[in-house]
Amino acid sequence: MNDLAGKHLVLGLSGGIACYKAAELCRALVKAGASVQVVMTEAAAHFITPTTMQALSGRAVFCSQWDERPAGGVDNSMAHINLSREADAIVVAPASADFMAKLIHGRADDLLSLMCLARPLDRVPLLLAPAMNREMWAHPATQRNVAQLRADGAVVLEVGVGEQACGEIGDGRMLEPDELLYDVSRLFRPKVLAGQQVVVSAGPTFEAIDPVRGLTNLSSGKMGFAIARAAHEAGASVTLVAGPVSLPTPRGVERINVRSALDMQRALNALTQTATVFISAAAVADWRPASTTDEKIKKDGSGRVPILEFVENPDILAGIAATPRARSGALYCVGFAAESHDLLAHAQAKRARKGVPLLVGNIGPDTFGQDDNALLLVDAHGTSELTRATKLQLARQLVGEIARRLPGAAAG
């Protein structure tokens, strides 16, 4: 997906071994649709060459404030002005301890720091990806600098944890390129759920018959995981309650793994005590075995099939939708209906039965395990369709629809 299509970014590199990651980040930004102008400090050029960054960005790299080449289409020897004016954001990755210390004092003795100081604060955000030794990161001076940069309006990302180039292990590594790509993309997403606490359920449940067998379904969890990501992109604090799936956790999302419907019910009942939005995208099993065995049920050669008795699982969504918080509007509940036929009729009936303000329907066999989907939205005012698209695209549209329907949201 071209999440950054039409965006022009300045990618700044200060000195540090993490400059090698900036090459992959540059390539990823371009692949996501952005145009990238690389600006390097003298120290950065000791770790990676401007030639490499020019090849990846497709643009001449600027390294000196005394560079007399036209910048930003203007020939006035003011690269720090021209390059910052055409940028949608400035991303410094890596941002060294020295470079961040320089920024808080407004020092501007090289092109990159000049650009950060000269950028229009109201329309060119500054995103910093720190990279340094663990002791340097933990030092009180660095932590004071980070706090001040954030207070001044810069977006200072957290650091990674792991083995460092010096051989030590701990905090201070620059985030990986895919994590940085997400953070840059998120910068431009409308924060329509800012301040909201969102709980999302996703994936199937597994109802054990014996230690090796059980009842489940074909849900992949992809739609729920996409919704969790989209809600986080939109500024919400997000907790994802996931059934047994192997999907990676969306960046910035807290994940709680569960197995059975009863496990999921316990987790969701607790989380929705404080949440403001609950999106029930999980495909919870309707039934579970009345009892389970501690040992595998084996064939005995008689040809007889063991008789299993089933009991109905609790209706998690209906139970939460009936709580005082949900009924008062403090918790906005969204349900999902995966049907095999007659989607409109079943979705309308399910919304009424569950008592939720918004019900999202889809045809299960057409979407389970797939990367795309089509959705039908059913609320008290009627129905609308989200035409087939990737699940992330649909999730972003759905998040916008939910934000528009929340109590207190602006009309229209």
What's the pLDDT tens digit per position in 59-78? 999 998 777 676 666 665 66
Q: What is the pLDDT of residue 363?
A: 66
Angstrom distance (rounded) from CA 315 to CA 390: 29
Nearest-angstrom CA–CA distance, 42 and 113: 12
Q: What is the Cα–Cα distance from 16 to 165, expressed in whole angstroms?
A: 10
Is residue 410 one of the residues assigned to a domain? no
Region of residue 106 (phi > 0: left; psi between -120 and 50: alpha; otherwise: beta): left
Got the DSSP string for 178-234? HHHHHHHHHHTS--TTTT-EEEEEESB--EESSSS-EE-----SHHHHHHHHHHHHT
Distance CA 240, CA 377 (A): 22
| Residues spanned by the domain of 60 | 8-187
Residue, of 81 and 193, whose pLDDT is higher = 193
Same domain, 336 and 369: yes
* 320 and 274, same domain (yes or no): yes
Residues in contact with 315: Cβ distance below 8 Å, sequence separation at least 6, in sequence order: 354
Would you call 9 helix, strand, or coil by DSSP?
strand
Same domain, 170 and 213: no
H or E segment and range at residue 113: helix 111-118
Q: Are 389 and 372 in contact (CB under 8 A)?
A: yes
For the ranges 10-19, 71-80, 195-204, 251-260, the lowest mean pLDDT is seen at: 71-80
Q: Please, are residues 38 and 11 in contact by the beta-carbon 8 Å criterion?
A: yes
pLDDT tens-place string over residues 371-387: 888 899 999 999 999 99
Is there a single domain that holds both residue 130 and residue 242? no
- Residue 412 domain-assigned? no
362 falls in which pLDDT band (50, 70, 90)?
confident
Least confident of 35-44, 65-74, 225-234: 65-74
Q: What is the DSSP letter of 71?
A: B
Domain boundary, last residue among 187, 207, 230: 187
Average pLDDT, rounded, for the chain: 91
Contact (Cβ atoms closer than 8 angstroms) between residue 211 and residue 203: no
Position 412 scores a pLDDT of 45
Contacts of 308 (CB under 8 A, 6+ apart): 209, 289, 290
Q: What does the pLDDT read at residue 68?
A: 66
* Residue 180 and residue 204 in one domain: no
Q: Does 296 fall in a domain?
A: no
According to the model, what pLDDT value does residue 365 have? 61
* Residues with catalytic roles: 166
Q: Is residue 192 part of a domain?
A: no
Where does a domain end: 162, 187, 212? Answer: 187
Q: CA-based angle 293:298:301, to the nearest 5?
A: 145
Tokens of 410: 């602006």
pTM over 0.85, yes/no = yes
Shared domain check, 318 and 395: yes
Domain-located, residue 169: yes
Residues 89 and 225 occupy one common structural domain: no
The answer to whether residues 209 and 338 belong to one domain is: yes
Cα dihedral sign, 166-169-175-178: positive
297 located within any domain: no
Is 259 in the same domain as 146?
no
* 252's tokens: 């910035």
Residue 376 amino acid letter: L
| Separation of alpha carbons 134 and 161, rounded Å | 9
pLDDT of residue 260: 96
**Amino acid at residue number 367:** T
Q: What percent of the chain has pLDDT over 90?
A: 74
Same domain assignment for residues 210 and 183: no
Domain with residue 337: its CATH number is 3.40.50.10300
Looking up residue 17, the CATH number of its domain turns out to be 3.40.50.1950
Q: How many domains does the chain have?
A: 2
Higher pLDDT, 409 or 8: 8
Residue 41 in tokens: 């400090």
- Read off the tokens for 54: 């020019």
Q: Domain for residue 294, yes or no? A: no
Residues 234 and 153 in one domain: no
The answer on 357 and 228 residing in a single domain is yes
Last residue of a domain, one of 141, 167, 187: 187
